[in-house]
Amino acid sequence: MKIAVLINGSGKHLDITKDLFAHWNKLYDNITFDFYLATWEDEIDYSEYKWIKAYERLKESECPYDLDSHPNGHHQPHYAYSLYKANNLRKKSGIEYDGVLQTRSDIYIFRELLDLLTSLFAVKQGINQDVDNSQVTPRIMYSGYGNELLNGRFWTSDYFFFGHPKAFDKFANMFIDVWIKNVLPENKKLMHIMQAEYLHYIGIYNCGLSNYPNHALQNVLIREPHRFGHHSTHTDAGWDKMHPSPFQLRTLLKGDGPQVLLKKDLAPKVIIHFENTDKDDINIS
């Protein structure tokens, strides 16, 4: 089985998560992950990361949508454009993939989520339990919680999406449809709402995975220490302490390695660790 992994967006904290992503190809005997990255230019040299199949560093000036005219801090077109470019890298490879996983660079995905996603290709259903019924088809997309209704508009988590390559070819065209052709009204172009409304617009069902047995814990994001303050302190604050700081995840990776952090049944333990240890290196002056 071959799965394409699309990592798009800012590229933030890839210097930490790179070892986790690289270790995915040591987890399964019969599954290969190919990584395609489309992220905004920074100082990191991706040519040193041998686990990446192909990459493109993006420049705002080259985007066909005028990003300079977009409000600061609103990254919806940046997200859509980088997804579009990452999926193009996958298509240009000419490789036929069984599935596509789109995610972000500052994420720590637990082993249980990877196991669940890869199990969707061989689900036993109905009276004939000898037949594998794949749940990965062009008509469905998987995310953390699926579509929810918020103030009359669909909303979805956007830590990851997983689906059939044909579903992703439609989904990745969101940049062209939403930001060039304007098929969605302005009040449906907000982050989280945009992805949910566009999947609905193109007729692809967004299925949540949180209700699958033992899969309430799927992943965490790296968050800077100041973001764990009370939500009233500033707009970036209010994050739950279950998420790691850069220092916490870097320290665990240095001490235990990705092979430990990607073991089964580890998620509850590492979350307790993240919640109860220092978010910053108190020895740094």
pLDDT at 215: 66
Question: Is the pLDDT at 201 greater than 50, yes or no?
Answer: yes
**What local confidence, expressed as pLDDT, does residue 72 receive?**
79
User: Can you tell me the distance from the alpha carbon of 279 to that of 147, in angstroms, rounded to the nearest whole number?
Assistant: 32
**Cβ atoms of 190 and 76 closer than 8 Å:** yes
Q: What confidence tier does 147 reach under pLDDT thresholds 50, 70, 90?
A: very high
Helix pair 14-23, 246-256: axis angle to 10 deg: 40
Mean of pLDDT values over 98-126: 90
* Range scoring the smallest mean pLDDT among 76-80, 127-131, 220-224: 127-131
State the Cα–Cα distance between residues 193 and 154, nearest whole angstrom.
6
Kindly tell me if the per-residue pLDDT of 285 is higher than 60.
no
pTM for this prediction: 0.93
φ, ψ for residue 258, nearest 5 deg? -65, -25
Would you place residue 283 in the very low, low, confident or very high pLDDT band (cuts 50, 70, 90)? very low
The yes-or-no verdict on residue 284 having pLDDT over 60 is no
Residue written as token pair 């998620």: 267
Q: Where are the domains of the chain?
A: 2-221, 226-285
36 in helix, strand or coil?
strand
With 80 as the cut, is the pLDDT of residue 193 above it? yes
**Lowest-confidence region among 78-92, 131-145, 198-212:** 131-145
- Tens of pLDDT, residue by residue over 65-80, are 999 888 877 899 999 9
The 3-class SS string of 213-274 reads CCCCCCEEECCCHHHHCCCCCCCCCCCCCCCCCHHHHHHHHHHHCHHHHCCCCCHHHHHHHH
For residue 158, the 8-state DSSP code is -
149 in Cβ contact with 159 (< 8 Å): no
Angle at 12 (CA atoms; ends 11, 15), nearest 5 degrees? 90
Token representation of residue 145: 């919680």
Instruction: Determine the average pLDDT of the residues in 93-101.
Output: 98
Predicted confidence at residue 73, as pLDDT, reads 74
Which segment, 27-41, 130-144, 233-247, is predicted with the most confidence on average? 27-41
Contacts (Cβ under 8 Å, ≥6 apart) of 43: none
Distance in angstroms (rounded) separating the CA atoms of residues 222 and 187? 29
Contact 159, 144 (CB under 8 A): yes
Task: Sort 65 into a burial class: Cβ within 10 Å, 0-12 / 13-18 / 19+.
Answer: middle
Q: Return the percentage of the chain with pLDDT > 70, whole number.
A: 93
Q: Which superfamily does 2-221 belong to? A: Spore Coat Polysaccharide Biosynthesis Protein SpsA; Chain A (3.90.550.10)
Average pLDDT over all residues of the chain: 92
What three-state secondary structure class fits 40?
Answer: strand
Please name the helix (run of DSSP H) or strand (run of DSSP E) that holds residue 168, with its range, or none. helix 165-171
Euclidean distance between CA atoms 247 and 283, whole angstroms: 11
pLDDT of residue 131: 56
Q: Could you tell me the end-to-end alpha-carbon distance of the chain, in angstroms, rounded to an integer?
A: 48
Tell the residue number behind the tokens 């994001």, with chain if given: 221
**pLDDT tens digits for 28-54?**
999 999 999 999 999 899 999 999 999
Burial (0-12, 13-18, 19+ Cβ within 10 Å), 101: buried
Overall average pLDDT of the 134-144 stretch: 94
Q: In the predicted model, what is the mean pLDDT of residues 91-112?
A: 97
Q: What percent of the chain has pLDDT over 90?
A: 82
